[in-house]
Structure 1
Amino acid sequence: MPYTNLFSLQEKVIIVTGGTGVLGEAFIRGIHEAGGSVVILGRNQEEGEARAEELRAAGGQAIFAKADVLNEADLIAARDLTLQTYGRIDGLVNGAGGNLAGAVIQPDQNLFDMDLPALRQAFELNLFGTLQPTLIFGKWIAESERGGSIVNISSMAAQSAITRVLGYSMAKGSVDNFTRWMSVELAQRYGDKVRMNAIAPGFFITHQNRDLLTNQDGSYTTRGAAVIRNTPYQRFGKPDELIGALVWLLSDASAFVSGEIVSVDGGFSVFSGV
């Protein structure tokens, strides 16, 4: 294949869970711009339908399927809709996830008085919300003639101790472990047909963390300032800056890459603070 075509997603159908979120919007747009057909999964039907229509208006192929990543029946229905519409699945982006207020350990909270139900909920959303779509969509990818690529979304919280976000950190650490484990099992059972990798974003402003990192006037909170201080680029990431890594991992350009956790973080993960 010519070098210029390696990064193309032409004739590839990619499912994106969490496609109605802030980062999900960048994911679906990047896949569209690389020539791929997009299946947007999310719980916000109005937003999902609007995003699919926007891509279609721009000349792309896109559909929306309302689905909760923890609901097996929703995912099966989304798989069936995808196959009815396009006849194949070539990739999966496990973009659904996020933090929950009850799973955050506040500075003035008794350390031994954690909200265990909330921690379990955060763990289920981020880990099993990655695992369950992989089982349902990944099975079709693995057993198809074409094979394909699965990309999970990790976090800086999986790589070092970030205060407060215990539930989220444990879950994302497990996502990293699952990514490595599953990549090996896939290779041993299906050869090079299916690869699994993950992207570990640095700090990006989303609906969930905006109030933790920035004040209403746009200035940094104490926590936001600490993040900037420990990010060599001295700024937060822009969602579009995740697109290059995502397209690479979904495209044939990464055909010999599996089990990797790719940091897109402005240097946060390698900076010692000195």
Structure 2
Amino acid sequence: MSGRLQSKVIVVTGGSSGMGKAFAQRAASEGAKVVIGARDETNGNRAVAEIRAGGGEALFVPTDVTIEEQVAVLVNKAVTEFGRLDGAFNNVGGTSLGKIREIGEVFWRDTIDRNLTSVFFSLKHEIPAIVASGGGSIVNNASTMGVIADPNIAAYVAAKHGVIGLTRSAALDAAREGVRVNALVTGLVDTPLFRESARNPEIQQYFLDMQPSGQIGKVEDVAAFTAFLLSDDATYITGAALNIDGGVTAK
């Protein structure tokens, strides 16, 4: 295989399904060696098997990215197995519903840990490894909720706004060391998690009505854009929050 990501070693958190899996497959198809970190061992191993069956190189490392020691193991495994680290797609996250006055401390901390602290741990360990390899690129998957807000989702909005702020700070911290860091402002995407939340036809229609384009994004759309940002075609892009949302935030 050959392509823009030829011989690059890339870590993908949350790479066992959805956008993470689609990107892992895209990266491998463009020549990258992919290291998938996720809690779901069954789907993680299946994702690796599918990449290998297509002729790509991939490795699965069981990882809970809310635990710093496990993130360190993930990054170290990438370096020890493949000799370097060139990039990462920090993709783990999950929506949590609840009004500010209704949510408890455990709910708040769990939401922040899953969506924001996980990105902090990932950046903390990825950046030194990428610097040691001569530079590279990191993409953090934020959300439209990182730049706007909806009711009943306060903890998630706070976390995703934090991801964008953290991305910009990390980009400035690492700019002179050859590491680029960007965030995706991702809209509604047809993932297993989205399909689960949109089983009701009325909810499906509600989501469609939100979209200026009248359609939900595909995981392949996110995978292609992420591959570009992690490639050498995007060497002048850093510290950016880039919309891939079908026009939702243009309204």
Superposition TM-score tier, normalisation by shorter sequence? over 0.9
The corresponding residue for 2:243 is 263
* TM-score of the pair, normalised by structure 2: 0.93
Query: Does the aligned pair in 2 maintain the 1:69–1:75 contact within 8 Å?
Result: yes
SS of equivalent to 1:233: coil
Counterpart among 145, 157, 160 of residue 148 in structure 2:
160
Q: What are the equivalent positions in structure 2 for 1:1-274 lying under 5 Å apart?
A: 8-100=4-96, 104-105=97-98, 112-144=101-133, 146-188=134-176, 190=177, 193-215=178-200, 219-221=201-203, 224-271=204-251
Seen in structure 2, the aligned counterparts of structure 1 residues 210 and 163 have a Cα distance that, compared at 3 Å, is farther
Q: Equivalents in 1 of 2:225, 2:167: separation in Å?
A: 16
Residue-by-residue CA offset, 1:44-65 (whole Å, 9 max, x unaligned): 1111111111111111110000
Q: Equivalents in 2 of 1:268, 1:174: separation in Å?
A: 20
Query: Does the aligned pair in 2 maintain the 1:154–1:200 contact within 8 Å?
Result: yes
Query: Does the aligned pair in 2 maintain the 1:199–1:245 contact within 8 Å?
Result: no
Residue-by-residue CA offset, 1:58-111 (whole Å, 9 max, x unaligned): 1111000001112222222222322221101000110111123xxx126xxxx6
C-alpha deviation, 1:201, in angstroms: 1.2
Q: Equivalents in 1 of 2:223, 2:189: separation in Å?
A: 13
SS of equivalent to 2:193: coil
Q: Write the letter of the residue equivalent to 2:114.
A: L
Q: Equivalents in 2 of 1:63, 1:15: separation in Å?
A: 9
Q: Write the letter of the residue equivalent to 1:235.
A: Q
Query: Does the aligned pair in 1 maintain the 2:11–2:36 contact within 8 Å?
Result: yes
C-alpha deviation, 1:211, in angstroms: 4.2
C-alpha deviation, 1:227, in angstroms: 3.1
Please tell me whether Structure 1 or Structure 2 has the larger radius of gyration of its CA atoms: 1
Residue-by-residue CA offset, 1:153-197 (whole Å, 9 max, x unaligned): 010111212122211111000000111111112124x2xx10000
Query: Does the aligned pair in 1 maintain the 2:38–2:63 contact within 8 Å?
Result: yes
How many residues align? The count is 250
SS of equivalent to 1:150: strand
SS of equivalent to 1:149: strand
Query: Does the aligned pair in 1 maintain the 2:127–2:174 contact within 8 Å?
Result: no
Between 254-263 and 19-28, the greater mean CA deviation after superposition: 19-28
For structure 2, the residue ranges without an aligned partner over 5 or more in a row are none
Query: Does the aligned pair in 1 maintain the 2:145–2:156 contact within 8 Å?
Result: yes
Query: Does the aligned pair in 1 maintain the 2:17–2:43 contact within 8 Å?
Result: no
Q: Which runs of 4+ in 1 moved over 4 A?
A: none
Q: Equivalents in 2 of 1:85, 1:20: separation in Å?
A: 19
Q: Write the letter of the residue equivalent to 1:187.
A: A
Query: Does the aligned pair in 2 maintain the 1:56–1:62 contact within 8 Å?
Result: yes
SS of equivalent to 2:139: strand
Q: Equivalents in 1 of 2:192, 2:109: separation in Å?
A: 22
CA-based RMSD of the aligned residues comes to: 1.7
